[in-house]
Amino acid sequence: METATVAQARRQVENYLDRAASRTLEGTRTAGGGVCLPFTGGLGAGKTHLLRTVLDDLEAVIPRDGSGDRLGPHFAPKLFSAAGPSGRFFTLYKETLMNGLDLPGFTRVLGRYYAEATADLLTRMGAPGPQVRSVREMKIRADQVVTRFRLSDHDIRAIMSKNLLAVTDQEALASQFALLNFGEMLRSEGRAAAVWEWLSGDHLDQDLKEEGITEPIDSDVKAFGAFTMLAFLYGRAGEPFVFVMDEIERMLQESDRSPAWNVELLQGFERLVNVLIESGGLTIFTVLPDNLERFSGGFHDRVRVLPVEPFDVPETRRLIDKYVSPGSPVRFSEKAVSEITTSAEGNPRFMLNVCRVGWDEVYRPDQVNVVTPPTVRAAIRLIHERHKLSSVAREVQQVLETGGWSADQVGDRTFRISRRADDAAVTVLLTLSILDDQENTRLRRDVDAILARPGQEVIVVVNGYMRPSDRRALAGMLSRQPLIYDHYRFRELLREQLAEAHGRLEQAGRETVLTGIREEVLRIGRQQNHTQTTLELLTAQIQRMQTVAGTGTGAGDTGHGLPERVDRHFTRALSALQGLIGIQSLFRDHFDGEQPMAHRMRPASSREFFEVIGIVVFFQRLVETFMDAVARWLDRAEAQAFRSGLSKEQREELRAICQRYDATAEIIPLFRLTERGQRVEILGLAEQVIESSVRRDAEDALTHLATRVQEELLGPVGPVR
């Protein structure tokens, strides 16, 4: 659908194509002329739709196979796109991007550079002007001139390196060009093929290694470097790259399972964009607004950010009319369209989803029905309120109990954790969807009433939907984001906010030291009572898991015979548990004349330290038992898999093993390792326990262990060692 944002993006692309098509031969040798257009917006804002619209326009004028007329006398762009799930950049480079290039075209581009450097050398030697121009414009083959006049390849390569360095300002790139020996490649098809094979991410020829090209292209970082080099080579030869990418985040993250960005990949992408701009290329990619901020200031100075603007009411009406014909049995009233736009704040994905559910709600055969504002609100609740408020309250109660927080429940929507000494408290407030200004005002009034008393902190949990602008306004009141209930990570996020809220009360000086100690001792006592009950349940859970695994489980047998791709997940989990408390270095220097450990431990720290140690040992035993159960299942399943594939019963058996691990791990108080473990003060253990990266790695390794094992053994490779 044509919106103001789509029209603006199309104009930007058309302007680029018009300018590039009018460039002269000399212009292609001048740095600059390229454009980078990041399309930015929230989830569902229409970034991918906008990208595909622009990509369709580009595909209509730029032939994919390199055939057809040039778009200008010195402009023959190469179009590359990663408009689907991007995955790893090395895979994209090898399987997609390099398929858009070929060896004959590569040789043609090399000839342009070689001709230019040869013409420069002839000029230095005082050759006649017409002859120099003929070589530079490739009317005479440069390699034949070199052979006839016995020119030095070494001198030509030095000129090429100097020229490229002056334009790129990237010494590594210029040096890499110099190693390629363009003249030799033009004279030898085998030499050119060897270089092309290396650039394609395949075999690295021994002759190339001897000449200084020693690194194969076998990683994301190296693929970025190689594609950057090719972009500059082709761009300076009048064949700039047009690179279109959806969800740049996927290319730059550490791995498929980690949302964290890899700094080397981020820097590699920035270098690629800079080179595309310098060589007259076009880069278009989509990115979330928060992630756009991760790029450097210099990067922001060179790009033209295009925000995907939210839909207004007329655009929403046009969007609905594209899907709902005039003769449709369901109509959307003008007030309903306004309600949809306001609730969604112009997000098209959200609006289409609401329209679909609203349609289903009112549709009746053989009669015309109208979607009204109440229908819209009912549809939003149906989409987002997937759990009963009582279920959310039980989740909150579970987090409070396992954390040792003593809370008074007021009705079915409020939990109050009181400090008693001075009436300071943390209040957890539950609410259903906030869909209009009236409901938002009521919630803000409730929060204001609590915060009006001294020493109060409020955590809001929304079971459903809340407009982004309302969430931001509420976050300003609370100094923290309201929690939108989702089973995934909800407990972890609530624990973090509880700890942060209590920390703020303590920092504000709202309680004395003695009161703080008293509250903490009471909390630990309640938590230990809960932990004792939990441990009894865990013992029964592990015994059941051992029954599934078969007879006896020896720690020495754990993990033997597992495929490496499965064993590494168990190894990571066990290593994370050990690293979490620094158990390996516990008695370092203990017998070297230092003061005995018993004299260096505070009573409270000692008690908490041994509690943490106990949980680690218990969790380690659970992981080892789980590993042995998987190994025994694999022994039974592997032979069957080779013969006829896994049976349904075998798949269900593995799922049951993994589910038992998850169920048991869920009730082990892992947070005692990641939250309370920071109070350990034995030697230097405190610094190790509170190291955030160690804690995150441990939690990730342990809580997702069963899922990863199941994916490895039931995935495409299957149970094969």
Tens digit of pLDDT for each residue in 162-212?
A: 766 655 555 655 665 656 666 666 667 777 788 888 888 888 888 777 777
CB neighbour burial string for 398-437, b if at least 16 within 10 angstroms, e if fewer? ebbbbbbbebeeeeebbbbbebeeeebbbbbbbbbbbbee
Let me know whether 563 and 692 are in one domain: yes
**Are 28 and 237 contacting, i.e. CB atoms less than 8 angstroms apart?**
yes
Chain centroid to CA 2: 30
pLDDT category of residue 682 using cuts at 50, 70 and 90: very low
Same domain, 584 and 645: yes
Query: So what's the pLDDT on residue 670?
Result: 63
Is residue 438, in this structure, part of any structural domain at all? Answer: yes
Do residue 171 and residue 271 come from a single domain? no
- The per-residue pLDDT for range 351-380, each reduced to its tens digit, is 999 999 999 999 888 788 899 999 999 999
What's the confidence (pLDDT) of residue 676? 44
Encode pLDDT of 305-336 as tens digits: 999 999 999 999 999 998 888 888 899 999 99
CATH number, domain with residue 356? 1.10.8.60
Q: Is residue 263 domain-shared with residue 334, that is, in the same domain? A: no
Establish if 721 belongs to a structural domain.
no
Whether residue 547 is predicted with pLDDT greater than 60 in this model: the reply is no
In a domain, 545, yes or no: yes
Nearest to 511 by CA among 639, 425, 442: 425
Range of lowest pLDDT (101-110, 150-159, 690-699): 690-699
The phi-psi region of residue 366 (left if phi > 0; otherwise alpha if psi is between -120 and 50; otherwise beta) is: left
Q: Is residue 126 part of a domain?
A: yes
Nearest to 217 by CA among 235, 233, 230: 230
Q: Please tell me whether residues 482 and 630 are part of one structural domain.
A: no
Same-domain check for residues 561 and 709:
yes
Report percent pLDDT > 90 for the chain.
Answer: 30
Question: Which residues share a beta bridge with 428?
Answer: 415, 459
User: In the listed set 283, 307, 331, which residue is the last one of a domain according to the structure?
Assistant: 307
Q: Do 537 and 682 fall within a single domain?
A: yes
pLDDT band at 696 (very low <50, low <70, confident <90, very high): confident
Q: Are 547 and 657 found together in one domain?
A: yes
Tokens representing 647 are 């049976």
Q: Quick check: is 226 in a domain?
A: no
Residues 113 and 256 in one domain: no
**The tokens of 691 are what?**
């190291």
231 alpha carbon, distance to own chain's centre: 26
In a domain, 411, yes or no: yes
How far, in Å, CA of 457 to CA of 427, rounded?
Answer: 6
**Are 707 and 663 within one domain?**
yes
CB 277 within 8 A of CB 271: no
Nearest 5°: the CA angle 467, 471, 476 is: 150
Query: At which of 482, 511, 540 does a domain end?
Result: 511
Give the per-residue pLDDT at 358.
Answer: 92
Confidence of residue 692 (pLDDT cuts 50, 70, 90): low
Q: What is the pLDDT of residues 139-149, one digit of tens each?
A: 888 878 888 88
Q: Evaluate whether 188 touches 235 at the Cβ level (below 8 Å).
A: no
Distance CA 315, CA 309 (A): 11
Average model confidence (pLDDT) for the chain? 80
CB atoms within 10 A of CB 373: 18
The answer to whether the predicted template modeling score (pTM) of the entire model surpasses 0.85 is no
Domain presence at residue 531? yes
Give the structural domain span for 500. 389-511
pLDDT of residue 559: 42
Q: Indicate the number of domains in the chain.
A: 5
Same domain, 317 and 400: no
Residue 592 forms part of a structural domain: yes
Q: Which residues pair with 463 in a beta bridge?
A: 432
- Identify the pLDDT of residue 165: 67
The better pLDDT of the pair 638, 530 is held by 638
Taking the C-alpha atoms of residue 425 and residue 418, their distance in angstroms, rounded to an integer, is 4
Among residues 307, 340, 362, the one where a domain terminates is 307
Nearest CA-CA partner of 212 in 176, 244, 188: 176
Claim to verify: residue 194 and residue 243 sit in the same structural domain? no
Above 80 in pLDDT, residue 689? no
